[in-house]
Amino acid sequence: MSNEQSLAERFNALADPALWGGLAPQLHIDDPAFTAAAKQPMNFDAAALNGINADLAREGYFQLPALDWGVDVAGVAAGVSAVVTAGYMPVFAFMYDEPWFMYARLHKLMTTVLDAGYRMMPAFWAWHVDGKREGAGWTPHRDLGYRTLLPDRRPKAMTFWLPLSEATPQNGCMYIMPADLDPTYGTPSDNQFKIDLQSMRALPSPAGGLLAWTQAVLHWGGRARKPVTTPRISISVEFQRGDQAPIYEPLLDPLQLPDMTSRLRLILRQVLQYKHMYPLSPDMESLAEAAAFRPGLTPAFLQDMMQRNKPA
């Protein structure tokens, strides 16, 4: 067997809807009857949207209570658990329709904070903080820093974090240093930060809530107490304004759910990007190196397959 064949077989096995359907039959996989509703945006009243922009300008983040996503949020959380239990990294939950669907439905909110023409960045992740495989969220950091703010401090790009289970200080909820209390926020010296303990803010959230921050805000995920009774399960995706140069490529149409092949290639790109934090098996690393989505680059073994899979 040639190496190319073996890569193609491994890729096909991971792109197979039957694999993921078997793990979480309650979720949807490339199901047009379900995903059609992704283009029906969730409604927010004008006052709520105004409040969001005010919070964002002052504190660099905003938080919303549990929203009406139109999906079974507990089922999505169970899907992430099933993916992890089967030995895959939690980010493979993006093989299901639901994560993409949930972000698409934020259209009205996105146009408020990032303007019409906003784009989805090929930058996403999922966490399953259960005290076993993963004991804490990420350490204090800024995502991309001050360069992602406009001169008036509005964001060029933001991270949208969705807790799928209740996030509490006990299971590792998010913590943030509000921008107005952070002396180096939005400045070229923002990589030098001192954490003023009294100013840091724990942000517990119900399952199905939403937390979003500019990419300059200082934040981290807490450490879970052991034993963890409710794992902290969450997903996040980064978005940017459409009138700014792409921060990562390819930028994605936020209302168009990628097909299974594209999802897998995007997921492989994420696992490569974070391999310094989450070491990969040699098989996963070689597949990711070969097949991860890179702009304009489609590996030979995928070109054949994608040609064959084109709808008639």
Q: Which residues bind Fe ion (CB under 5 A)?
A: 143
Burial of 38 (0-12, 13-18, 19+ CB in 10 A): buried
Between 97 and 143, name the residue whose CB sits nearer to Fe ion: 143
Q: How far apart are CA 137 and CA 171, in angstroms?
A: 10
Residue 39 CB, shortest distance to Fe ion, in Å, is 29
Between 48 and 202, name the residue whose CB sits nearer to Fe ion: 202
Residue 277 CB, shortest distance to Fe ion, in Å, is 12
Residue bearing tokens 């193609």: 8
Between 123 and 290, name the residue whose CB sits nearer to Fe ion: 123
Residue of closest CB approach to Fe ion: 143
Between 123 and 284, name the residue whose CB sits nearer to Fe ion: 123
Between 82 and 212, name the residue whose CB sits nearer to Fe ion: 212
Residues 6+ apart with CB under 8 A from 88: none
Q: Are 207 and 163 in contact (CB under 8 A)?
A: yes
Residue 138 CB, shortest distance to Fe ion, in Å, is 6
Q: How far apart are CA 141 and CA 201, in angstroms?
A: 15
Between 221 and 299, name the residue whose CB sits nearer to Fe ion: 221
Which contacts qualify for 180-185: CB closer than 8 Å, 24 or more apart? 180/58, 180/59, 180/60, 182/60, 182/217, 182/218, 185/60, 185/146, 185/216, 185/217, 185/218
Q: How far apart are CA 86 and CA 252, in angstroms?
A: 29
Between 46 and 277, name the residue whose CB sits nearer to Fe ion: 277
Residue 217 CB, shortest distance to Fe ion, in Å, is 9
Residue 248 CB, shortest distance to Fe ion, in Å, is 14
Residue 256 CB, shortest distance to Fe ion, in Å, is 25
Residues 6+ apart with CB under 8 A from 65: 206, 209
Residue 220 CB, shortest distance to Fe ion, in Å, is 8
